[in-house]
Structure 1
Amino acid sequence: MADNNGRDFIIGTIIGAAVGASLALLFAPKSGKELRSDINQGAMQVKERATEWKDIAQAKGLEWKDIAQSKSQEWLDIATQKGSQLKEKTQHVTSNVQAKIQDIRER
């Protein structure tokens, strides 16, 4: 849930920056050529910010992937260990039951 809030914040920030920059440029008293130049500069800045956020998101994604792989290997090791322990206990109990059955038969 926190990941969605962070993503929504990033998207809102980018959209807000673009809208704010566009409105500021549109209401500023400038010539058409200056206005177009300013709009292009603002669009480039927004594009650069979006690229930065994308790079950050990719880095976090790789970090989370590495954590997930590490945890899954850790859990697999634990499951394998517990499975081996259970197998040994089952074999021990089976051996004891068979020995008791043999004792009963011999009587």
Structure 2
Amino acid sequence: MTENNGKDFVLGTIIGAAVGASLALLFAPKSGKELRGDINQGAVQVRERATEWKDIAQAKGQEWKDLAVIKGSELKQKTQDLSTNVQSKFQNMRENDNQSDVEVDEY
């Protein structure tokens, strides 16, 4: 849930920045040449900012993936250990039960 909120926030920020910059440039009293230059400069800035956020998002995604792999491996190992422990206890119970049966038969 948090991941979607972060993505939504970043996307909203990018769109808001682009719309705000475009509106500010369109309503500013400038000549066409100046306006086109300002729009171009604004677009470059938005692209640079989007690239930075993309890089940050990719790094965070890689961190979360690595953490998931580590936690998954730990959980798998704990499950295997628990399974081995349960099998061992069950085997011991069967052996003890078989020994009890043998002792009762001897009387």
In structure 1, the partner of 2:70 is 70
Give the unaligned 5+ runs of structure 2.
none
Superposed, 1:1-107 pairs within 5 Å as 1-107=1-107
Deviations 1:11-49 (A, max 9, x none): 110000000000000000111111111111111111111
How far apart, CA to CA, are the structure 2 residues paired with 1:104 and 1:53? 75
Give the RMSD, CA atoms, in angstroms.
1.0
Distance 2:36 2:45 in 1: 14
Instruction: Using structure 1 for the length normalisation, give the TM-score.
Output: 0.95
- Which stretches of structure 1, 4 residues or longer, exceed 2 Å deviation after superposition? 103-107
Equivalent pairs, count? 107
**TM-score under structure 2 length normalisation:** 0.95
Identity, % of aligned positions: 60
CA distance in 2, matches of 1:4, 1:81: 36
Task: Give the deviation of 1:106 after TM superposition.
Answer: 3.1
